[in-house]
Amino acid sequence: MIRVVISCGDPAGIGYEIVMKSLIRYSPSDVQFSLCCAPSVFESVAHIIPQSEKFFDLIKSNIVKLISVSNDSDFITGRIDMKCGRVAYDSFITAVDKVISEQCDAIVTAPVSKKAIRLSGIEFTGHTEILGEKFRCPITMMLFAKDFRVALVTTHIPLKKVPEFIRSENIFGHIQRLHSALKNWFGINEPKIAVLGLNPHSGESGTIGDEETEIEDAISRAIGLGIQIDGPLVPDVAFLPSQREKYDAYLTMYHDQGSIPLKAFGFKFGVNITLGLPKPRTSPDHGTAFDIAGRGIADPESFIQALKTAIEICRKSN
């Protein structure tokens, strides 16, 4: 039996809705789901979800188990709220602890509001960063939609700080984690990776910045290990169709350099996966969507893909 723990995200957003919709549509018989949540929120959203009784049947049959992090039943919908932020954070930390203690095999996280969590008094930069701290290991964020994969050297930091992290050793670590995941988690025997430059025209031989020398050094080290890798590619043409067909994944230097083309290509199917962890962690590649919360129109497809990815990785590992 594969054991998947889900942190259900911000009660004010669409997290509980997409979790319920996803499990109604996708709940394999060889998987048990533990949901870290405020249980009352599922009762609140049930009336806006067709066939919601199927979700509660999964609970009765022990396919889905609710792990309460809050007994509160008075949550707002559709805006940033301190209490919702605290529940979202507690749900996430409880889920992470389940994996660290080996009570669960994978973690899937629903969207949270960083601002709501900070309002509750907790310093929070993102799921990925907390996972690295809790598991005490270097990690890499990768986004993918079908066969289009983009990993990031830097994540949730201001653009002005990005150059501080463009260092050969740092980039080399991301290359290694990306290469390992492509082989072991995605089943690509000889993956080919493209690495982007940071500056316009990839620095144009040092005339528009010199960060590319660090990138080139990391690439040379990877080639020395037998990794198939090209770069640093000129960023503004790196994602042309003729380029995409050459590579199994890209390594980009900062958040929007990778996430913009990925979301433009396949937002509906986008999945966020954390590389470098001993167990898979995935999430949908979208946010809390406060503007449509409580209306029953949230699309669960990205969350379903996140579930399928985590479960498929567990099956390969077993």
pLDDT at 195: 98
Question: Residue 207 has what DSSP assignment?
Answer: B
Q: Please name the residue that has the structure tokens 């985590």.
A: 310
**What pLDDT is stored for residue 177 in this prediction?**
98
> Is residue 148 within a helix (H) or strand (E), and if so which, with residue range?
strand 148-152
- pLDDT score of 204: 79
The residue written with tokens 């054991």 in the block is 3
- pLDDT (0 to 100) of residue 205: 81
The domain segmentation of the chain, as residue ranges, is: 1-137+278-318, 139-276
- State how far the Cα of 129 lies from the Cα of 274, in Å rounded to an integer: 10
CB 32 within 8 A of CB 3: yes
CATH level 3 topology of 1-137+278-318: Isopropylmalate Dehydrogenase (3.40.718)
Task: Tell me, yes or no, if the two domains 1-137+278-318 and 139-276 fold the same way.
Answer: yes
Compute how many other C-beta atoms are within 10 angstroms of the C-beta atom of residue 132. Answer: 19
- Based on its alpha-carbon atoms, the radius of gyration of the chain, rounded to whole angstroms, reads 20
For residue 163, whether the previous peptide bond is cis, meaning omega lies within 30 degrees of 0, is: no
Closest CA to 117 of 42, 14, 45, 12: 12
- Interatomic CA distance for residues 272 and 150, integer angstroms: 10
- CA dist list (Å): 135 to 30, 119, 262, 281, 294: 26, 25, 27, 12, 34
Q: Quote the pLDDT of residue 105.
A: 97
Could you tell me the pTM of the whole model? 0.94
| Peptide bond preceding 50 in cis form (omega within 30 of 0) | no
Give the closest residue to 104 by CA, choosing from 306, 292, 311.
311
CA–CA distance, 101 with 60 (Å, rounded to integer): 26
Could you tell me the two tokens for 144? Answer: 């993918």
Cα separation, 199 vs 211, in Å, equals 8
- CB–CB of 23/50 below 8 Å? no
Q: What is the CATH number of domain 139-276?
A: 3.40.718.10
Distance of CA 55 to the CA centre of its chain: 24
CA–CA separation, 273 and 276 (whole Å): 10
> What is the three-class DSSP state of 68?
strand
CA atoms lying within 13 Å on the CB side of residue 117: 21
Report mean pLDDT in 10-residue bins for the chain, 318 residues: 97 98 96 98 95 96 97 93 97 97 97 96 90 94 95 95 96 98 96 96 83 96 97 95 95 96 89 96 95 96 97 90
CA distance 111 to 18: 10
